[in-house]
Structure 1
């Protein structure tokens, strides 16, 4: 089972890697011996803020050992392998369409004619994202495990829990957490559903209604740091039982700063629940880097990723970051030898061991 899932993930990665290699080889002098990322970016006519993406692609192609333009025969074989891989992984046709369309629209994405959000949320439809973050095998498993850990924390606290969700998006994590927490003896005291985009807050209201404990708020993850704890506490972000972040904590400019800030708003013994990719798969290279571009180019990191185009931390790096901030980290799931490890998605839970000064 583990080998079959790993092979399916590799098939999707291969499709994107070969598609990128074919595009860059067709539109530029890559892979010439003296061709650098800047020359390739010039050749493919990339928008200034996305120039870093081309360098990131070249690094990933080199890391994967793809150093030549593929033949049409190789491309056809990769496309044929896509459909059965999607089926095996529980992704369905929506993600297949996303992969194929993002490769087809690379020129438009690079020049900014097409915004990646229109591929992820066509006409405001969230079906593709729902498959990516909720209904496939690994997301379904991790969301349910997160809900179980959250309910366990609520029962242990003995009170109506106060919860902050960061980057709640379309509610793929909240959809499991809310009923799990609502079923605990004391229930939910407050659930702050936050995101940087009002689009997602509107979707959250539509999806979950207006229960008195629900609060929908704009919050930037980079507003959480040890230097502004007092400001956060004034806004009510204090003495929390749970902080949850599904596939978004890596978006913080500095994860050490974020972790230190979270210990200041979590109650002693409060729990942090993260669902995080712990390795970048090639299948995301034609979408997620575009979503990460800032007005000035690559996202600016001031933590261990500084000076690189890395987005994700490994499981061990997350453990080190959280331990350094005063958290006690639970064993990370899926466990070793679990077939779902092939997806490189992890559930990371940690308890705030900091004590308030008297």
Structure 2
């Protein structure tokens, strides 16, 4: 029996298009995803780049209104740029309108580093090389920190917070969200209740990329965990292991629940799929070069990547699942088998909306067969 399949969307803006078109395309894809049997439709949060999902809660409301049964959620709210009460109240409103259909995903972006859950001592680990685990490619790690430290990105991201603001510890924020939702939150010794926000069905989903704090917080609080193989394929498997090792049963979950993401492009034949995915490396390069995601390039017009550019994105190209429906499904099945995932979530971006629709349709029908 196959595990459920879900969709992760960034509302990407294609080269030559605009944000309004991207948002309409996202609603259209969500409607189709519901018809094709996907379990969830999640929206990522990004800022100052050529994707239109900068406010997941707003977009979730639009998609929930345009659909009937599919779960809709955030993948994920960047907690470093907001507060626990703001998150719970906004998602509490959504939960009031669409009870039982809203997924509250949270991530560490924008957070200050913490030592609270780190081991007392660290033993340096040797550099790892690309390898495979039962058919799943695990590339050498990419230093995301190098991108985050660029002066341009640091300056732009600083505008997402009030001047001199300091984000609370991520674990504390997630614990506060759980307390607010469950009605047990206290501030300075006094009871404080989120209105709306208290719910019996709205629990945080923690998103993580490594065996660091996110995985351990999700496990310690007994929350579902989403490992981002599509962004950090080098460390996703160890993130899943760390989460399971840290898991403690809670009111939300009696046992661990793992979702793993994958970046995919499917078409009616492998040649077409590889052509559609031909500009993916250029898109990833725009992110890793420090400028932020550009409008999604047209594969018909891009020049080949240089050797230097290719080296910067090779890990992501190697771990994108590209081909016909059978080929993509086989790689998804391998990822599920290796990680033991209870659910998979796919993101599929192409320059043309009709190709993106076709990719999701082919995968859904093949996965269900």
> Same fold, TM exceeding 0.5?
no
Structure with greater helix percent: 1
TM-score normalised by L of structure 2: 0.34
TM-score normalised by L of structure 1: 0.34
For the pair shown, which has the larger CA radius of gyration, 1 or 2?
1
